[in-house]
Amino acid sequence: MISGVKQLLEDLARTPALVCTVGRDGVVSELFLDEEVRKVEFADPWATVEYSGWHIHANLDTITKVRFAEAPSHGDSTSVFVSLDDAEGNAVLRFYFPHASQTHRTYTAQELTLFETFKARYEQTFGQED
């Protein structure tokens, strides 16, 4: 599983206009992928993703499931995202399509195609349970 998570994380980090959320124990950070990634490195079991204004370190051993999901969001909008979850079903990292500043509206066909492309590429690797 960890090799698939590494490839997925690298692909997501290199996709512009997404937002990555990192949440643990009552705190959520929203990290905007507005620029080119500076570094994606792996030193098992850790991953480092670095941009000019922020970086994260994630223990990939905590990720036990990858979900490609669609869920209600603010108001009557919908969010589509990839969630890298722990054993309790909590998101370790979550990548929203597209950029969060563009929420509260309907997705364009191009944005949904980007999400569906990731889902098609990786759902065989991780399986998909809804």
**pLDDT tens, residue by residue, 25-83:** 788 888 888 889 999 999 999 999 999 989 999 999 999 999 999 887 777 778 899 99
The strands making up 78-85's β-sheet, listed across from edge to edge, are 27-32, 19-24, 91-97, 78-85, 65-72
Prediction pTM value: 0.88
DSSP 105-129: SPPPHHHHHHHHHHHHHHHHHH---
Residue 1's pLDDT band (boundaries 50, 70, 90)? confident
The pLDDT score that the predictor gives to residue 42 is: 97
Q: What is the mean pLDDT of the chain?
A: 88
pLDDT(130) > 50: no
CATH number reported for the structural domain that contains residue 84 in this entry: 3.40.1570.20
Q: Residue 61 sits in which domain range?
A: 2-126
Work out how many domains the chain is built from and give that number.
Answer: 1
